Amino acid sequence: MELRHLRYFVAVAEELNFTRAAGRLYTSQPSLSEQIRNLELEIGFSLLTRTRRKVELTAAGVVFLDEARQILTHVEAAVARAAKAASQARECITIGFVPAAEVRIFPSVLPVFRVSFPEVDIVLRSLTSEEQEVALSRGEIDLGFMRGPVRAANLRSEVVLVEPFRVFLPQGHSLAAVDCVLPMHLDNLPAINIDPGYGRAIHDALAHYLVRHGVTVGHVYPSSNPLMSINLVAAGLGYTLLPAYAENFMPKNVIARRLPDDAPESELLVVSVSEVSAITPAARHLLELVRGLLD
């Protein structure tokens, strides 16, 4: 048994849905199902009952979930303590990020940073924007690449990327032949919406845009992250609106179409603590590299 088996099981147990859990874990549903089956075979009993309509925990699964969470919590704490001990001998910069930074920022900035600071370890943490704000305030990460708004008074932010939104559609959709999707084209169509907790600014901007144009959203399928949204589009459940970077991970059976010029844009922020003296030299250098992308 490996830690990934526990992480996979906890995700499925919390979502009670293999599709949503796979999106949360950035893996495929068949692979996730196989990992859960392997775990059950190894321990010798079922953790989940599965039907075509629902997934439920068995009595053993409820107990195993509690223990698995505790194990993962202890492991994360052990890693954090070990990292702190290691950082005393070697400087470390911890960066929180949402997927847009992973696609648009890191490939250009991190290789250059490594040349200038080869002795500095880089730790990347995939966190929601709200999680990053908390982590920055607590000093758990040095920099955050996140969506606004930033509410904490001890943090400062800069816009490092502005992207248009795209309409993502399943191949063969009635709007596939349209080069530019007008708001009225989306009226009463089923949609996949990201949970506001993942990106409040994006959620609110798009909701306001649709309301302003009198668009009524049809049946809504909730999603916990952009990759899950794309996967649900690929499954033919409806359309979704995401920043253009999401085109980088859409499968062949998903297409992207542009919106009119009056559509809102998506802003990515780099956030740090307001007190300049609290920012390490390595983090300041990374900030300068990011600012250089805007020149």
Q: Identify the structural domains of the chain with CATH numbers, from first to last.
A: 3-84 (1.10.10.10), 89-159+268-292 (3.40.190.10), 161-266 (3.40.190.290)
pLDDT of 87 reads 62
Confidence of residue 260 (pLDDT cuts 50, 70, 90): very high
User: How many angstroms separate the CA atoms of 197 and 218, rounded?
Assistant: 21
Q: What is the mean pLDDT of residues 260-287?
A: 89
Residue-averaged pLDDT of the chain: 89
pLDDT of 294 reads 67
Confidence of residue 89 (pLDDT cuts 50, 70, 90): low
Beta strands in the chain (DSSP E): 48-50, 55-57, 92-97, 121-126, 143-146, 155-170, 191-194, 220-223, 240-243, 254-258, 265-273
Is 184 or 204 the better-scoring residue by pLDDT? 184
Q: Which residues of 83-111 are buried (b: 16+ CB within 10 A; e: fewer)?
A: eeeeeeeeebbbbbbbbbbbbbbbeebee
pLDDT at 192 over 90: yes
pLDDT at 166 over 90: yes
pLDDT of 17 reads 87
pLDDT at 86 over 70: no
User: How many angstroms separate the CA atoms of 32 and 127, rounded?
Assistant: 21
pLDDT at 258 over 90: yes
pLDDT of 292 reads 84
Confidence of residue 210 (pLDDT cuts 50, 70, 90): very high
pLDDT at 31 over 90: no
